[in-house]
């Protein structure tokens, strides 16, 4: 299961000056405590042996951030995946990318802009290192092992009940988008029964309106075995904005009439 907390990053520091170990900390919006990291492995070759400072620009709802980050462990131990600033020689990506596999909550992936990463190397540049625990393995994690939830408390409150948007037709609003990261299947939910059943738009072999369930989305896997995820950056849109072709015929008939 994959966490993608990039949106909620406030600041952080990662240190690979000791070969084979990456330590550091990150502060996320919605979390009262810093997240400490103690990982086995190294940065990619473009920044191996260096320290990097991270920054974020989140200015959204604290409630949303707390809801999204609920369950993310405050002590991240595990192993490094890929950590790069996207600098030459580009071993992995041409942009900053941070990935690790945590014992507490599984895979974590962060896609960053170049201005969010500052390379400080081994020149003794001042950082707030004293505030980062030196032995995070000795700190008990209070986060629950989990993944990004497909449906948060906030989304449950926002989604209208079944049939609430039936009369809106093409103007019904989609409040949440689900997708398979390893294929093209996508689901757009306009209504929810409060327990398990959605109504909305399913896009797979074809696009069609209908019902789909939360339990099915949570248990389904794509062709590479990856679970379905929720688009964390989704902004509400109407059905007509997403699939105008579904309503083209009825609009043509209405115009002809």
Q: How much is the pLDDT for 131?
A: 32
Which structural domain, as residue segments, surrounds residue 60?
2-138
Is residue 36 domain-shared with residue 128, that is, in the same domain? yes
Do 207 and 105 share a domain, yes or no? no
Q: Residue 213: inside a domain, yes or no?
A: yes
Give the span between the Cα atoms of 252 and 257, in whole angstroms. Answer: 9
Q: Do 211 and 93 have their domain in common?
A: no
Give a yes or no: residue 146 inside a domain: no
Task: Give residue 143's pLDDT.
Answer: 35
Q: What spatial distance separates the first Cα and last Cα of the chain, rounded to whole Å? A: 52
According to the model, what pLDDT value does residue 24 have? 95
| 102 shares its domain with 183 | no
The domain total for the chain is: 2
- Give the pLDDT of residue 120: 83
Q: Are residues 96 and 178 in the same domain?
A: no
**Would the pTM of this model clear 0.75, i.e. be above it?**
no
Domain endpoint, select from 74, 108, 138 = 138
Mean pLDDT, 10 residues at a time, over the chain (257 residues)? Answer: 89 93 94 94 92 90 90 94 87 88 91 89 41 31 48 91 94 94 90 95 91 91 84 91 83 55
Residue 145 falls within a domain, yes or no?
no
Contact by Cβ (8 Å): 218, 228: yes
Residue 119 domain-assigned? yes
pLDDT of residue 184: 84
What token pair was written down for 117? Answer: 């990463």
In a shared domain, residues 173 and 98: no
For residues 212 and 128, state if they share a domain. Answer: no
Shared-domain flag, residues 162 and 248:
yes
Neighbours of 15 (CB within 10 A): 20
pLDDT of residue 135: 31
Whether residue 206 sits in one domain with residue 168: yes
Of 103, 138, 173, the last residue of a domain is 138
Res 181: pLDDT: 82
Same domain for 103 and 43?
A: yes
Specify whether 250 is located in the same domain as 176.
yes
CA distances from 59 to 28, 63, 251 (A): 11, 12, 40
- Provide the pLDDT for residue 253: 55
CA proximity to 140, closest of 69, 71, 73: 73
Dihedral Cα 115, 119, 124, 125, nearest 10 deg: 0
* Local structure of 215: helix, strand or coil: helix
Diameter over CA atoms, the chain: 76
């Amino acid at each position: 299961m994959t966490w993608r907390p990039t949106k909620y990053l406030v600041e952080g520091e990662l240190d690979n000056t000791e070969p084979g170990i990456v330590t550091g900390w990150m502060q996320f919006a919605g979390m009262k405590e810093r997240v400490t990291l103690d990982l086995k492995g190294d940065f990619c070759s473009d920044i191996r042996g260096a320290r990097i400072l991270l920054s974020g620009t989140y200015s959204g709802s604290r409630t949303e951030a707390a809801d999204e980050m609920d369950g993310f462990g405050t002590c991240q131990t595990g192993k490094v995946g890929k950590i790069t600033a996207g600098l030459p020689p580009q071993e992995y990506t041409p942009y900053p990318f941070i990935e690790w596999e945590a014992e507490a909550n599984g895979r974590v992936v962060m896609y960053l802009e170049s201005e969010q990463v500052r390379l400080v190397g081994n020149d003794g540049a001042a950082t707030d290192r004293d505030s980062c625990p030196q032995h995070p393995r000795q700190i008990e994690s209070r986060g629950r092992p989990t993944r990004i939830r497909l449906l948060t408390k906030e989304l449950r409150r926002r989604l209208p009940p079944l049939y609430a948007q039936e009369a809106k037709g093409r103007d019904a609003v989609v409040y949440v988008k689900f997708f398979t990261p390893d294929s093209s299947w996508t689901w757009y939910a306009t209504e929810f029964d409060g327990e398990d059943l959605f109504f909305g738009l399913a896009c797979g072999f074809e696009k069609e309106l209908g019902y789909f369930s939360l339990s099915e989305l949570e248990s389904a896997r794509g062709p590479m075995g990856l679970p379905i995820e929720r688009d964390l950056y989704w902004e509400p849109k109407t059905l007509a904005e997403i699939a105008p072709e579904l309503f083209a015929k009825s609009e043509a008939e209405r115009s002809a009439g």
